Amino acid sequence: MAQSLARVPTAHGSRYLQQLCKHWSHKLEVVFTPAEGTVRFDAAVATMRAEPEALVVAITADDPAVLERMKTVVSTHLDRFAFKEAPLGFDWS
């Protein structure tokens, strides 16, 4: 299983987490609170945690190629919701 983690600097992590989870909840299995969220895609899982000055995003997938694609999907969607401060700094590890 492949995993990547990013700590994205923003003071609006909770807002972006909730917007993203609500956006995907129409088509995917999503569970979230203002502080944490989990989105289950077909071949990956994204978890998010809002901190006072950051949004921590973790993505796991069985296939490294899927992981790379999902990192792009999550980051581009978050940048759309954070348009006032986009592009956000995703330092994937």
Q: What residues pair up with 6 in beta bridges, in sequence order?
A: 57
Residue 88 pLDDT class (50, 70, 90 cuts): confident
Residue 75 confidence (pLDDT):
95
Taking a C-beta distance cutoff of 8 angstroms, is the pair 75, 60 a contact? no
Angle 13-24/64-81 helices, nearest 10 degrees? Answer: 110
Q: Are 67 and 44 in contact (CB under 8 A)?
A: yes
Domain spans in the chain, listed from the N-terminal domain onward:
2-81
pLDDT in tens, 9-68: 999 999 999 999 999 999 999 999 999 999 999 999 999 999 999 999 999 999 999 999
CATH of 2-81, one of 3.30.110.30, 3.30.310.50, 3.40.1370.10, 3.40.640.10: 3.30.310.50
- pTM over 0.85? The answer is yes
Residue at token pair 């983690």: 5
89: pLDDT strictly greater than 90: no
Q: What torsion do the CA atoms of 1, 77, 47, 54 make, to the nearest 10 degrees?
A: 120
